[in-house]
Amino acid sequence: MQSLSAARVNELRLRANDVRQGIIRSLVAAGSGHSAGPLDMADIFTALYGYLLHHDPANPEWPERDRLLLSCGHIAPVRYSAMANFGYFPVEELLTLRKFGSRLQGHPERVRLPAVETTSGPLGEGLAQGVGMALGAKMDHKDFHVWVVTSDAEHQCGLHWEAVMTGAKFALGNLTAIIDRNFIQIDGSTEEVMPLEPLAEKYRAFNWEVLECDGNDMAAFIETAERALEVKDKPQVIVAKTLAGKGVSFMEGDYTWHGKPPNAQQADEALHELQAERERILAGA
């Protein structure tokens, strides 16, 4: 297991703050889009792009790169902001989110942006695509790892569970799924709309290695992901418990922010809060 210093954790926390600010700026510029999920996944996408993934922004189609799939494509603003902050394209381009002709559409499109492995839209498809990539890598004796980010609510889709079965059948140790367990979807709580619990036990019953952590704790998530990578004989799932809208107080835990952007005044308030958090991180470094 790699050693993660306190200084490195603080550096990544600052980058996650940058990612969150990029999300807010892109959403208010677009005038549409999803807020809660992108904000709560900023720590995880920062950990992936900033620490865990084998990738090269200068060579995005590097054949040996790890594959990162975003199944819940509606949280695309967090992927775009993370990619921009780690050198895939200029941060200023985030302001073109959802604009006509932009590379940054409301759901990621594979042909528009380098290193976006799949076009994501219909929920429940991402894990099936990841299983196919991981199985292909195994058949071709390739060493890259496949990561699939999923929402909790898309576990209400049948195709997802077919992929869970297939991943276990072929013992895909080169596959890690990450669940954004924020307990919300567009109509309310997942546990009211269509209950998912006991979610971890379901994966164990399907013969996956199950790990759980606080998805908004940078060090805890990275430590959990590294433990997942040590498992070679079965696919792994990380149930990452997150707080919807993390980092913006008036959005936190509120499902109504699942599918709407802030207005200009709300964006200013959100950015003020995030800048204050950045200063707190720097003061504690």
pLDDT, residue 4, reads 87
What pLDDT score does 121 carry?
A: 78
- Give how many domains the chain has, as a whole number: 1
Q: Which CATH number do you get for residue 132? A: 3.40.50.970
The residue that leads in pLDDT, 28 or 285, is 28
Asked if the structure places residue 118 within a domain, the reply is: yes
Residue 260 belongs to some domain of the structure: yes
Note the pLDDT tens digit of each residue in 109-154.
999 998 999 998 789 999 999 999 999 999 999 999 999 999 999 9
pLDDT of residue 114: 87
In a domain, 93, yes or no: yes
* Distance from C-alpha of 16 to C-alpha of 4, rounded to nearest angstrom: 16
Chain segment 225-262, per-residue pLDDT in tens: 999 999 999 999 999 999 999 999 999 999 999 999 99
Burial class (CB in 10 A: 0-12, 13-18, 19+), 1: exposed
Range of the domain at 100: 6-284
pLDDT at residue 3, rounded to an integer: 66
Is 223 domain-assigned? yes
Q: Does residue 1 carry a pLDDT above 70?
A: no
Which tens digit of pLDDT belongs to each residue from 80-93?
999 999 999 999 99
Query: Could you tell me if residue 1 is inside a domain?
Result: no
pLDDT at 71 over 80: yes
* pLDDT, the chain, mean: 96
- Output the pTM of the full model: 0.97
Confidence of residue 210 (pLDDT cuts 50, 70, 90): very high
Task: Name the one residue in this structure whose structure tokens are 């996408």.
Answer: 45
Question: What does the pLDDT read at residue 122?
Answer: 86
Q: Is residue 148 part of a domain?
A: yes
Q: How remote is the C-alpha of 197 from its chain's centroid?
A: 21
**How high is the pLDDT of residue 83?**
98
Assess whether the previous peptide bond of 198 is cis (omega < 30° from 0): yes
pLDDT in the model for residue 198? 97
What phi-psi label fits residue 188: left (phi over 0), alpha (psi between -120 and 50 degrees) or beta? left
The answer to whether the CB of 202 falls within 8 A of the CB of 149 is no
Which alpha helices (DSSP H) does the chain contain, by range?
6-30, 36-40, 42-47, 76-85, 126-139, 158-169, 190-193, 199-205, 218-229, 264-284
| Domain-located, residue 193 | yes
**110 part of a folded domain:** yes
